[in-house]
Chain A
């Protein structure tokens, strides 16, 4: 029964396609629905990826501006938006490396917000957001993006398209990214 990942059919409906039932939905309505559905998660993804909430807001808005100017929705608009936002972020990084220093800085200075209480609190045993930020900064950009996109509920297909991977490889890559995070966390914060 050994099967390679490629043999497994990804079947979660591509939650996407243009939002709405039909591609014939007027662009303005479809854009509005997509904005309501995707702006917040695109913002959160960028915020956590960059460590800069102002830039996340700016880039998320700019991604939607570009989509609107396009005049029609691409086949997978959520992936398209992530892809545009990634390109914008990459350009921003070229021009301002300090954005990435902020991620480290915020981690080093401690958390600005108290840890959010959640049912998983026991699972985390006193871990803090600052530790998570520092760990994210320590793993590869690819792993960071994978984990953050999955966290926001993007489907494997959406992640694959946005990051230009095969959909069939996403599960394996997520396993590795999770393990990379765990190891980095231990290296950074385990008592000697």
Chain B
């Protein structure tokens, strides 16, 4: 009677208790068939380890305090974001899927995201409600790096202190000193930006063209406000996609 391959593998990987290990090593010493099996497994494991070692992977230097800061910064707005996005999904989600600019909502291992999928959402990338929420103290600039082949920016005003930005699919972005830069060069997403009525100045640029600006109560944009006070700006208007 011989231990099976899984047991020998566990022995190789140092996963067995000392007493079991001693027992198995005793068996190995007296069993040529098992020594052969064990030798083959050892060779296969060593080769596997060496092969995977070829996949160079250099972790970037990250510090725990940065992670902590990020967790604290987005922790409370996150709850607000969920509320805002729920409202989006309910009230205005007919043309925008709840989406992700970055994963800021959702918790824990195996936790199911609370997806609010619009009945009228189209496309295959509806994801859980998420987005970013900012509290700019004075002014905001939103910069889309490129025009897109499709997609629109919808801008609405609300009586709240927070700016929220939601995309219909995952798009990388960065935030720095009142400026949100959205790396949309390969994206076909639509975006919804909710602005506090009191926030000024605000500018939204696509590529290098300003498509929306607000200074005081004066709004200048390339389009006109719809009946619901929503500005719909095509992301395609600034030229050909690159």
Contacts and interface: CB of A to CB of B under 8 A. Distances in A.
Q: Do A and B come together as binding partners?
A: yes
A24 interface: no
A46 B147 CA distance: 31
Nearest to A1: B1
B48 A147 contact: yes
A181 B41 contact: no
Interface in B47-96: 47-57, 59-60, 62, 64, 67-68, 70-71, 74-75
Contacts of B48: 147, 151, 178, 181-182
Contact of A43 (B7, B13, B59): B59
A83 B6 contact: no
Chain A's interface: helix, strand, loop or mixed, by majority? helix
A171 B9 contact: yes
A150 B13 contact: yes
B230 interface: no
A165 to B, nearest CB: 12
B53 A116 contact: yes
Given A35-B64, A68-B68, A182-B44, A8 B20 contact: yes
Contacts of B100: 95
A22 interface: no
A48 B62 contact: no
Given A11-B15, A83-B109, A171 B52 contact: no
Nearest to A88: B103
Contacts of B127: 91, 94-95
B157 to A, nearest CB: 29
Contacts of A188: none
Contacts of A92: 170
Contacts of A11: 15-18, 20
Contact of A70 (B9, B51, B107): B107
A166 B171 CA distance: 37
Interface string A77-120: 00010011001100110111000000000000000010110101
Contact of A129 (B1, B7, B55, B71): B55
Interface in B22-63: 27, 41, 44-57, 59-60, 62
Contacts of A142: none
B109 A84 contact: yes
Given A61-B62, A66-B108, A124 B6 contact: no
19 contacts: A3-B4, A3-B7, A31-B64, A36-B64, A43-B60, A48-B52, A61-B67, A66-B108, A69-B71, A69-B75, A83-B110, A113-B56, A116-B54, A124-B47, A124-B51, A129-B56, A171-B10, A178-B44, A182-B44
Interface of A: 1-5, 8-12, 28, 31-32, 35-36, 39-40, 43-44, 47-48, 53, 56-57, 60-62, 64-66, 68-70, 74, 80, 83-84, 87-88, 91-92, 94-96, 113, 115-116, 118, 120-121, 123-124, 127-129, 132-133, 135, 147-148, 150-151, 155-156, 169-175, 178-179, 181-182, 185
Query: Which 5 A-B residue pairings sit nearest by Cβ, starting from the closest?
Result: A11-B17, A172-B6, A120-B50, A2-B1, A171-B6
